[in-house]
Amino acid sequence: MANPPRIWISNEAPAKDEIVRVRAQVVHVMESGLRQDEAGNPIPRDTLERFEARLNEALLLDWQPETAVAQNPYIEFTFRARESGVLKMVWSDASGIFAEAEKTITLS
Amino acid sequence: MTSCADLTRRRVLVAGAALGAGLVLGRAQAQTSSASAQPDSRESDRIAADFLGEATALPEGLALDLPALGDNPAAVPVRVHVTEAITDELWCEELIVLAERNPMPLACRFRFTAASGSADVAVRLRLIETMHVRALARMSDGRILEARQQITVAAGGCGL
């Protein structure tokens, strides 16, 4: 992928039940569908529709961005580190999976 | 002394600059938009009423952090977090953020689970004009928490 998601995580080796903060950003145009090109034709809507974060199988966050979300959507969230495993993040738009990222979380 | 290679390089640079200027112009022309601000908060209130159902919003337990002045209306940082303790018995199930005057006031929706153990999110929104931003959170015990704050933005730069 030309522009992989940018991920920052406060602690990849948290203590059990520690709150971990994650910041993530993808490059996406978030075209609102409200704009016209120079010929006056509407530019079709192209937005990110879903972001999911899971630790192993457990769903941590399901985010549904709408038109008001800025270009190159940025999301910051926190979760309680209950177990070691893989933090998996998936961004989807109308045509399916747009980007994916993983971070390994190891309880210390 | 100017070599032939230098001349070619210069020509390429000049051509590149011209192309760049053309692109900038093209982008500027593509800025026409049919996006118009909501005249009042009626649409936003309707979405909030849908979310509330039978419940009454409590003005507590939810914090909405946003700047008083959105100097870049195309990306206004907004953070929402539940300030009461999140436990395995009591967590935030769903949270919505409303930009009251935007053409589509529902800015985004979040769902959490008991596994999340937290409800603290931050995003960047585009806001079409000065307005109130409102957040509503449904807790697992059925209560709905609310926060609302005004933000002043420079109009017309949001890129909607």
Interface touch B110/A62, C-beta < 8 Å = yes
Same domain, B63 and B81: yes
Same domain, B101 and B31: no
In a domain, B160, yes or no: no
B130 in a structural domain: yes
Chains A and B form CB pairs within 8 A to the count of 127
In a domain, B95, yes or no: yes
Residue B108 forms part of a structural domain:
yes
ipTM of the complex: 0.92
Are B12 and B71 in the same domain? Answer: no
Q: What range does the domain containing B60 cover?
A: 42-153
Interchain contact, B123 vs A73, CB within 8 Å: yes
- Give the model confidence (pLDDT) of B83-121 as tens digits: 999 999 999 999 999 999 999 999 999 999 999 999 999
The residues in B 54-83 lying below 8 A from A, measured between CB atoms, are 74-76, 79
Distances, alpha carbon A38 to alpha carbons A20, B30, B65, B155, in Å: 46, 5, 38, 22
Provide the whole-model pTM. 0.84
Q: What letter represents residue A98's amino acid? A: F
Domain identity same for B46 and B69: yes
Contacts of B74 in chain A (CB under 8 A): 70-71
One domain for residues B32 and B58? no
User: What are the structural domains, with CATH classification, of chain A?
Assistant: 6-35+42-105 (2.60.40.10)
Asked if the C-beta of B126 comes within 8 angstroms of chain A's C-beta atoms, the answer is: yes
Q: How far apart (Å, rounded) are the C-alpha atoms in residues A105 and A82? A: 10
Contact: A70, B124; criterion CB under 8 Å = yes
B106 contacts in A (CB within 8 Å)?
Answer: 66, 68
Has residue B159 been placed in a domain?
A: no
Is B158 among the domain residues?
no
How many residues make up chain B in this entry? Answer: 160
Measured between beta carbons, which residues in chain B are less than 8 angstroms from residue A44? none
| Domain identity same for B85 and B115 | yes
Domain contains B122? yes
Report the number of distinct structural domains present in chain B: 2
d(CA B32, CA A39): 10
CATH number at residue B80: 2.60.40.2470
- Whether residues B86 and B139 fall in one domain: yes
Q: Does A75 touch chain B (CB under 8 A)?
A: yes
Q: Are residues B55 and B109 in the same domain?
A: yes
Residues B79 and B147 in one domain: yes
Tens-level pLDDT at each residue, chain A (108 residues)? 568 999 999 999 999 999 999 999 999 999 998 998 888 899 999 999 999 999 999 999 999 999 999 999 999 999 999 999 999 999 999 999 999 999 999 998
Coil, helix or strand at residue B54: coil
The C-alpha atoms of residue A64 and residue A75 are separated, in whole angstroms, by: 11
Contact B33 A35 (CB under 8 A): yes
